[in-house]
Amino acid sequence: MIKGTSLGFWALLGLFGAFIAAGLGATYYMEHNGHWVTGMNNAVVWGMPHVFAVFLIVAASGALNVSSIATVFGRAMYKPLGRLSNVLAITLLIGGLSVLVLDLGRPDRLIVAMTKYNFKSIFAWNIILYNGFLLVVGIYLWTLMEKKMNRFSKAAGTAAFIWRLVLTTGTGSIFGFLVARQGYDAAIMAPMFIIMSFAYGLAFYLVFLIASYKLTGRELGDAVVNRLKNLLGVFVAAALYFVAVHHLTNLYITEHHGFEAFILRGDNGGGIYSRVFWIDQVLLGSIVPMIILFTALSKSRAMVVAASVLVILGGLAQMYVTIVGGQAYPMTLFPGWEISSSFGDGQTATYSPSKWEVMLGMAGIAITLAATTFAIKVLPLLPESLADKVADPHHKAG
């Protein structure tokens, strides 16, 4: 059993700290030697750090789901789970933004982005959305934790619910507005990112909830776990549906046929992205978790955690295919013409993630885990018991 003062607790924080230190070391190495030591290049300017960062930012929005269901939609069973939901949403966003800031090359230039806004840029809007999310969710958490502020929790929760939808719409629109890239340029990107956030955030929440109660020796009943795992299965199915609609729509539009062949069949050097899409994203990240969550396999807590971890890994795979695959496919500069130049126009870009990029991305996840773990120690985020007789309003003794 791990308590806030036990050796196991500090060992866990030490493990997360080691990943964070490795990420900081990787950042120093990349900034000291230049980004040529990474796999990124002039064609693929968003690499693995951006895959991790965007994934964590999207998951942050979804992590707020549990709290929103309790406050906005009035589901009593979810009310005791709301505090952890808020904290996890904040720490996931901080973890994602930490990766972005450390990968800027000149982190101090962030001050320019925060003080001089170009409102035609979706990136400028996202600066406002991210900071606003931290503020709104922080206030929402305050209304949940301070008894005299409880009467404002519904209003704060509604504001946070709307803000997180706008935030994820903005993140998806980063790609939907990039009309020059055949892999992006789709209005469905915004709603697809919203439903993906539901799945990724809830997967993180489930892993953290089950692990926290297991490690601290508290009782977690089946009623809560069953509700959350069923909800996760629905979100995963919905996300897969949107992915299918996205690709089917592109197959209907002639200008996107080349990119779809690149991703779905591996044509034109897209083999790695095709394999990541079909094996990691669709099979292991969606279909296998749904099989676990919707069958008797989900009676095992270990299998529910395994399904949640697969959803997280599948989400990273989806971000990799979307972000890196979308850049690797050559831009169509002159439709109907073949283009070649010494610069590499018309050719599929090559990209191999370096260990430095992966270390930085893993540090973002470690920041989230460390911050949430420490928050559980210093704040009353977890009820002492979530046994069925406590959490389930419909529970019948005996």
pLDDT tens string 58-101: 999 999 999 999 888 878 788 888 899 999 999 999 999 999 88
Q: Evaluate if residue 333 carries a pLDDT over 70.
A: no
CB of 29 closer than 8 Å to CB of 362 = no
Q: Evaluate if residue 239 carries a pLDDT over 80.
A: yes
Q: Is the overall model pTM greater than 0.85, yes or no?
A: yes
Q: How confident is the model at residue 288 (pLDDT cuts 50, 70, 90)?
A: very high
Q: Looking at per-residue confidence, does 348 or 358 come out higher?
A: 358
Q: CATH class for domain 12-331+349-382?
A: mainly alpha
pLDDT value, residue 268? 81
| pLDDT tens-digit readout, 167-220 | 999 888 888 877 767 778 788 888 999 999 999 999 999 999 999 888 888 888
